Chains A and B, each alone.
Chain A
């Protein structure tokens, strides 16, 4: 069997943009709002087909989010598409007041999240976005792991009628969705059964979690792998089942370890079924390097995840 890491990889922005175009053809309420990010959001085709419905406010993220709330007030379904750091950090108060607290159905699409801007450095990384969005009540948080999940997330968000934040990955990933699997918001997908520990991963790191599980299996260690594509609302049942049935949990995310997926899982575990855990993620602002280099640098790869599971079981 070839490793998942040897399979073809995809940029999820393509699935995002294609799905948005497909939806917009059928629903005139769908508009795209961006901040001079037509190219980086892959919205060129959308703009050609629906020039009036591509609203580029220029480099003005606070205005961008407020405008989206106003468009939602006027009956439109705005997909705000912007590099995740500038969306979630620069416009955080607008996201809090105009979208989350006002409960306007705005879909915030954090493009190129995590460390996918690599060498451009921490100003352009968005390791904080999951933590920031988790602090806002009423915000659904989706981190699709591959193109199929990205498409499903966009389709779900368009009809959700409530605030949604989703990461749209630039870092190329293999397909991890099981053939025919349906992405259900709020439901973790079990990609691999196992008995001794569970790796709960999200986004770019799901494929690496699977590779770690393959490696561990060769060493006789049986590990469950959950793809947690919905961070909020978290699939608490799947987390508790993992704790009770496998006794050890390792979480893995391309995000700051404080307040992200690992924290969300730990909040459930410590209050209901305490078991030993390891939280893998980005520990601090990254040094210079490509996205791939930085993931390896921080041990966010099969080797690092394998080591964490073994340490936990030792």
Chain B
């Protein structure tokens, strides 16, 4: 699907956004099918992060699915590793591995574990899962590019609830201290964590001010608006790392899943699967 990436790159902005929107719908359908088959997964977070990941992988990042360890590739780290179904669907769509493998999601001995493993899945950079790990690793990647005087960039997607982990803020300090403007942290701001809202659990707001006070260049956008995402991911020579607060809806794309805490890792019934697929196909 390198052709698809080339086509998107060559298109005017409004066409790019439309193509990415179609791709995101495909990815969500794939996620539903994987979770329905595995009877396991994190559908709410998969859906909130789908547009972000689709935009990065199809419209922004310098990658080569045929050479997944190309040293000058852009790095992508999914810190919220539980949203692996969305990541695997994107990687399969790009032919990092055969799409048929998606049918083994979380099946015994499948390389597609509930959380991604870089040694088993081409395109995965870090074995994430425990929260608060992705940003420090991404900071290390960005430091490596600076040290090696190379132009590749690093993108890391953080859950919003995960920002309650202190390790993120250790890394946030280090990134701005070192002026890592080759680093983009995307916060999937869906406002729900596993059990309840982020604000009632352990308040994150004012989130943009927090990142700014740590020395980051912050933009706050609609995380389902592909045009806005494309613009937010453009390289910035600000001397500061960029934080994209992507306002999202957990479960985005299927009305009965949207914005409900219980859909963090609830598995849809067969009837709900049918309804979800119909709704996604209609969009």
Give residues in A with beta carbon < 8 Å to B: 31, 52-53, 55, 57-58, 60, 62-76, 78, 93-94, 97-98, 101-103
Contact = CB atoms under 8 A, between A and B. Distances in A.
Given A58-B174, A73-B137, A75-B71, A101 B143 contact: no
Contact of A71 (B132, B143, B166): B143
Contact of B174 (A31, A65, A67, A74): A67
5 contacts: A63-B171, A67-B139, A76-B144, A98-B136, A101-B117
B133 A97 contact: yes
Given A60-B170, A70-B139, A75 B148 contact: yes
A73 B125 CA distance: 8
B144 A66 contact: no
A73 B144 contact: yes
Given A58-B177, A60-B171, A69-B126, 12 more contacts: A53-B147, A62-B132, A62-B167, A66-B133, A66-B136, A67-B136, A69-B137, A70-B139, A70-B154, A76-B148, A94-B136, A98-B137
A49 to B, nearest CB: 15
B138 interface: yes
A58 B169 CA distance: 12
Interface residues of B, number: 34
Interface of B: 71, 75, 117-119, 125-130, 132-133, 135-145, 147-148, 154, 166-167, 170-171, 173-174, 177
B128 A97 contact: yes
Contacts of B118: 102
Contacts of A93: 130, 133
**Which 3 residue pairs spanning A and B have beta carbons closest together?**
A70-B140, A74-B144, A66-B136
Nearest to B128: A97
A310 to B, nearest CB: 48
B115 to A, nearest CB: 9
A21 B145 CA distance: 22
Nearest to B171: A63
A73 B136 contact: no
A298 to B, nearest CB: 35
Given A62-B167, A63-B136, A98 B143 contact: no
Contacts of A102: 118-119, 126-127
A98 B141 contact: no
Nearest to B172: A63
Contacts of A73: 75, 125-126, 137, 140-141, 144
A70 B170 contact: no
A63 B174 contact: yes
A101 B173 CA distance: 26
A58 B139 CA distance: 14
Nearest to A68: B140
A66 B135 contact: yes
Contacts of B138: 70
A163 to B, nearest CB: 12
A57 B174 contact: yes
Contacts of A57: 170, 174
Contacts of B141: 70-71, 73-74
Nearest to A67: B140
A78 B144 CA distance: 10
Contacts of A67: 136-137, 139-140, 143, 171, 174
A55 B144 CA distance: 11
Contacts of B140: 66-74, 78
A64 to B, nearest CB: 8
A31 B75 CA distance: 20
A98 B148 CA distance: 22
B136 to A, nearest CB: 2
Given A63-B174, A66-B167, A97 B144 contact: no
A120 B135 CA distance: 33
A60 B174 contact: yes
Given A73-B126, A97-B130, A98-B126, A63 B139 contact: yes
Nearest to A74: B144
Contacts of A101: 117, 127
Contacts of B130: 93, 97
B144 to A, nearest CB: 2
A66 B131 CA distance: 12
B127 A97 contact: yes
B137 A55 contact: no
Contact of A75 (B142, B144, B173, B177): B144
Nearest to A55: B143
